[in-house]
Amino acid sequence: MGAQWKAKGKALAADAKGKLFGKLVKEITVAARLGGGDPSSNARLRMAVEAARKASMSKETLDRAVKKGSGVGADAVNYTSVIYEGYAPHRVPVMVECLTDNPNRTAPNMRVCFRKGQMSAVAWDFDHVGMIEGEAENGADVELAAIEAGAQDFEAGDEEGVTLFITDPSDLDTVSKALPAQGIKVLSVKLGYKAKNPVSMSSLTAEQQEEVQDFLAGLDNDDDVQHVFAGLVD
């Protein structure tokens, strides 16, 4: 299932796009606040801007998000990054990244989301890594590309034809820039969490799988949740 859980099935297009834009705006805002509003000197902001452009975000919306984070204008806002840990049903470890302007709202919401699971320290069972999703073009050798670009590892991504390149967090920007020269089209770039001992979906019954999926969907639907990383493999 990959390192980052993604909802199965098709949500309403408008609703899905709205949620995606909301997450992208938060990421751009936080990146600008932490590293400044110039993408050329702020790798995290540059990656967030690239993701927003790929999602067809308007320049006006993008610029407004940068200004929010840079403290420019009346819309300036301050988001806090908060990590929640625990288990989904059937002991599936989960790391939840939230970006919130009100932690006092987010904490109780997360407690509600975890009612069918368990809040618990599980960070020990994850590696903090850089994650790059890419597609091989013109018959490029994925393994050779990973070696030449400096990735630590690679594996099949969540979608057919997509490869997930794993890097040290400090090498994420460097590797993402090097992969295109090796014939890899970069689709997404982010920091995330990769489970050391993931639970196999095939070890769960159909009913148990549905319970896990429903739990993860509930987390993902919370407006403050930015990313959900679940210890699951197909």
Number of independent structural domains in the chain: 3
Q: Give pLDDT, residue 7.
A: 53
Residue 113, domain member (yes or no) = yes
- 51 and 137 assigned to the same domain: no
- 56 and 142 assigned to the same domain: no
Residue 24, domain member (yes or no) = yes
Q: Which amino acid is located at 87 in the chain?
A: Y
**CATH number of the domain to which 61 belongs:** 1.10.10.200
What are the per-10-residue average pLDDT scores of the chain (234 residues)? Answer: 50 58 84 80 81 85 80 68 95 94 93 95 96 91 95 85 93 91 89 93 94 94 91 88
Q: Give pLDDT, residue 74.
A: 60
- Residues 6 or more apart whose CB falls under 8 angstroms from that of 20 comprise 55
- Domain boundaries, position 37: 13-70
Q: Give pLDDT, residue 134.
A: 92
Give the integer Cα–Cα distance in Å for 47 and 169: 14
- 182 and 215 assigned to the same domain: no
CA-derived radius of gyration, the chain: 18
**CATH number of the domain to which 167 belongs:** 3.30.70.980
Q: What is the 3-state secondary structure (H, E, C) of 79-127?
A: CEEEEEEEEEHHHEEEEEEEEECCHHHHHHHHHHHHHHCEECCCHHHEE
Q: Give pLDDT, residue 26.
A: 84
Q: Give pLDDT, residue 148.
A: 96
Task: Tell me the pTM.
Answer: 0.79
- 44 and 149 assigned to the same domain: no
Give the integer Cα–Cα distance in Å for 88 and 116: 7
- 118 and 131 assigned to the same domain: no
